[in-house]
Each structure stands twice: as C-alpha cells, then as structure tokens.
Structure 1
C-alpha cells in the first residue's frame, strides 16, 4: 500500500537561489512520484534574493510546503532535526539545496521503504556547473551485510540520496553534530540499532561539486572530526580496536594530502564502491 512521504530540504544564507529553485523543481514537479509535502528549513536569516526564491517556491509548489524559519543559523544537524519534527509523514526523503533529483528517484526508492526497509540510498553522479556533464559517479554497496561491513571504514550512503523512516532515525538518537560527518554518525547508529537498509545502484541524484568541495574534506578541523567520529564508533562497539587504528591512520592521512590528490583518490574509491 502506498504511503505518503515528506521531502526535507535545508536552506541557509550561502545557498544560491537558482540552485535552490532547481533542487526543488527536480525533487517535486519533475518526479514521476511526487512527495506529499515539502518541509523547507530556513537555517537562519537569508538574503533578499534567496528569500524571494523561497517565497516563489512556496506559493507555486504543486504540493504543500511547510516553511520552518529558524531565527539563527544552527547548522545542518540541528536544522534537519527541526525539520524532521515538522514532517507529517513517517517516510522522509532528503535532498540538499544545490543538488538535483532524477525523475524516477522516488518511484524507485519509496516502495523499498514501504516494503520494510528503514533506509534506502542510491548511486549518485557528480557535476560542476552543467548538470548534464557528469564528472564522476558514486557507486554504492548493496545488501545489508555488505553495507554494514563497508560502514566500518566508510560512509555507506550518500546523504542527499537517502529516504528513511522517521521512527528509525529517532530510535538511533537522531542527528548529532559531528563536523561534516553527522550523516555518517547517524547511519552508524542506525545500523547498530538494527535498521534494515539497502542502496539502489542506479544514480538517482546529481550532486553539485562546488568550489572547495574537496578542500573542505581536509585540514586540521576535519582531522579532529575524524578522530572524534572514530572514537565514537569504537565506543559504541561498531568497530574493533584494529579497525579503529586502521581508520584513524588511513582516513586521517587522507585529510592532509594535497587537494588535487584527495580529489583523485576519493573519486577512484567511490567509483568502485570502495572496492
């Protein structure tokens, strides 16, 4: 039986109005199976152009829009938590404000959650300026066992592609701030709590690789976040002592290689599904 579902989009002052408009259109109007509502979280004050774009989307949307306006910027983890609290439906799909959902995304993903899964991601294509020019493809692991094994070394889901059950997210403790890896930490805790998961291999989202996307994955701040994440994973028993050391060394070194090398290495790894 078909279930209603919500689409959750966080927006903040740094987002480009044209990108937000494109993300919204691709995830609502162009879908072969549309969401039943959109929960748009405005994370803090935004400029006049972005505010006008959001007003236009809200007034012209073919489905109801719940606009959650936060008075100050609280960051992605808290913004998503506030948004989930306002979702009317148990099934929630995610999209970022500068990415593009392909037309059959929800037609393919939502039935898998309706059939009993708690979390479903998908493959993802990367683009720079032109969404029709793909510069990289992320191929995910599939199957519960393979995903759980891979998750002990790498995030097994691309966050902008996921569709999940709100109750499964809540049972795992919801989003918790963890640098740029709050999604990975959530997925680890969901797996640890027994969530039933899978990925659709087919790319269903196009991910905008903006200026500095790979630079943000490096440096001391991300090193500290990496260590904090690995300690947390070890603390809850998700990884063994040997896996903890391997992760800190291998993933830690990655934070300090030159950006050009990091970009090539990351794309090569993800394109092979981590193999």
Structure 2
C-alpha cells in the first residue's frame, strides 16, 4: 500500500457511531490509492464502551501506525484538533470526520497539490443521509486563489472535513481558535489573510453524512451571535469592507434565524450547488 509523508487526523467524541468510525477510518486508510503514513485519533472526552472497544480494534488492526490520544474531558473540536497537532509526526495533515467517507483517490489528488507548494487543499463533497452512494446534494467549493478569497468574504470557502494542510501554515496563525461552530471558517480566513497558498479541488472527493438535526444546529440565536461576532472580526482585520460587513450581518444573521426546513431548501439551492462564479 503506497503511503506519503502526511498524517490522518480524526477526532472522535461520545456521540459517534462505532460503525461509522470504522467506515471513515477504512475509507481513509485501506481504501485510498495513496494512504497516510500514520493516523492520529483524538478521543475528545469519555466515550461509551462500544466506541472505546472499536477504537482499540482500529489501533490493533490498522495497516499503518495509529496514535490514540485520549482526553479526560470533552474539550470541543478546536482544542481536540490542536491536541492532535501536538501528536502528529509528519509535516502535513489530512482531516477526516468520524462519520464521513473518503473517495479512494482523495488523498492522491490533494497530495499532488501539496507537493506543488500549496499550504491548504480542500475538495468538494457530496452530502448523504444514509447511503454514501446516493448523495442528496453536492457542495462545490470555489477554485483558484482569487475566487477563494472573494468567496471567503461572504461564505466559508473550504469544506473543513476535506482539508489537507501543512502544519507549519497553522503554526504561523496560532492553530485553531474556538469560534462556536465556525472555527473552520475562522481558520480558513486567517490562513488566506496570512498569505498561505490555498486551493480547492471542485470534485466531491468526500461523502459527508448529514444528520436529521444538522440544519437545526446551524441556526438559532447562538449561531446568529457567532455569525455576527465573526463578521466583526472580519471587519476589524480589514478582510471585508463596511458595506460587505453590513450586508453579511443582515443576510447571514437572518439566515441563521430561519426555520430548519427553510434553511435546508436555501442551502441546497444556493450553497451546496456552488454560488455563481464559484465553479472552476
């Protein structure tokens, strides 16, 4: 099995399904045309016995070295990923969530661009509810530095579970910072603003599992306040103009407060299919 000089970083927490974790790991290691040289699994706090046993089984049976980092309490995604950064042995990391599925050529395609000098490479992803082979929609990210930067002024330009990035690029900006459910958006903006070389592959190289409550979790007053806080930070750092800030606060804040069913329709019509000008 060919491998390259990068680490798989997979966070797991108590709510994850052991079967989904097994599928996510297998798709990102044994089924890849180019596999990571190691995997780091971060167990974010106590987990049920069945999940703990599955993690032990993965470590014992993995074809590549696996380092299991067990945190005594749930610290949240941002801090769990930072603890994973402390544990990796290689200069490049491939992100993976515990309930998604990587397409076999995903890492090989991303690694080509990393070797070409990019600091961060994301991909498109297909959303599914139960069957990875029957996606409900596709999120197509912007491609090219100019389009990515422009898109980032209004929307997250990267699909977080698809990221492959250089550890050194994250070290330069201070790694992950807690930001509600938007730590990935905040990370991407800071990387772009720092001058990091970023790119996306338009094709959906990841199958992303969408739970029944996902759109409800994307909304509400807490999410709206996080959105407004993010927009203030973007304005403070000069990433958006005052008119762009006002537009984002009004439109994106309103979106967060819409009923989950309405958000689902709007998201799939506008965001998941790619906004005008965002396709390669």
Shorter-chain TM band: over 0.9
Quick one: distance in 2 between partners of 1:216 and 1:125?
A: 19
Instruction: Give the Å deviation of 1:257.
Output: 1.2
CA contact (8 A) 2:129 2:209 kept: yes
- 1:91-130 to structure 2, matched below 5 A, reads 91-130=92-131
1:168 and 2:182 matched = no
Quick one: distance in 1 between partners of 2:4 and 2:64?
A: 15
Quick one: distance in 1 between partners of 2:268 and 2:176?
A: 26
* Aligned twin of 2:252: 251
Quick one: distance in 1 between partners of 2:273 and 2:8?
A: 29
Quick one: distance in 1 between partners of 2:90 and 2:166?
A: 9
SS in 2 for 1:36: strand
* Aligned twin of 2:274: 273
- 1:29-40 to structure 2, matched below 5 A, reads 29-40=30-41
Instruction: Give the Å deviation of 1:173.
Output: 1.6
Quick one: distance in 2 between partners of 1:140 and 1:268?
A: 14
Alpha-carbon distance change, 3 to 19 in structure 1, aligned in 2, over 3 angstroms? closer
Quick one: distance in 1 between partners of 2:227 and 2:157?
A: 16
* Aligned twin of 2:183: 182
SS in 2 for 1:134: coil
Gaps of 5+ in 2: none
CA contact (8 A) 2:4 2:34 kept: no
Alpha-carbon distance change, 32 to 3 in structure 1, aligned in 2, over 3 angstroms? closer
* Aligned twin of 1:79: 80
Instruction: Give the Å deviation of 1:3.
Output: 5.1
* Aligned twin of 2:243: 242
Instruction: Give the Å deviation of 1:273.
Output: 1.7
Quick one: distance in 1 between partners of 2:204 and 2:54?
A: 28
CA contact (8 A) 2:14 2:48 kept: yes
Quick one: distance in 2 between partners of 1:84 and 1:187?
A: 16
After TM superposition, the runs of 4+ consecutive aligned structure 1 residues lying more than 2 A away are none
TM-score, normalization: structure 1? 0.98
1:44 and 2:45 matched = yes
TM-score, normalization: structure 2? 0.96
SS in 1 for 2:36: coil
Quick one: distance in 2 between partners of 1:177 and 1:57?
A: 29
Gaps of 5+ in 1: none
CA contact (8 A) 2:4 2:36 kept: no
* Aligned twin of 1:226: 227
Quick one: distance in 2 between partners of 1:274 and 1:49?
A: 42
- Pairwise CA RMSD of aligned residues? 1.0
SS in 2 for 1:35: strand
* Aligned twin of 2:141: 140
CA contact (8 A) 1:11 1:42 kept: yes
CA contact (8 A) 1:94 1:159 kept: yes
How far does the alpha carbon of each residue in 1:11-65 deviate from its partner, in whole angstroms, 9 at most, with x for none? 0001011111110000011000010000000000101000011011010000000
How far does the alpha carbon of each residue in 1:133-173 deviate from its partner, in whole angstroms, 9 at most, with x for none? 11010111100000000000000000000100011011112
CA contact (8 A) 1:137 1:270 kept: no
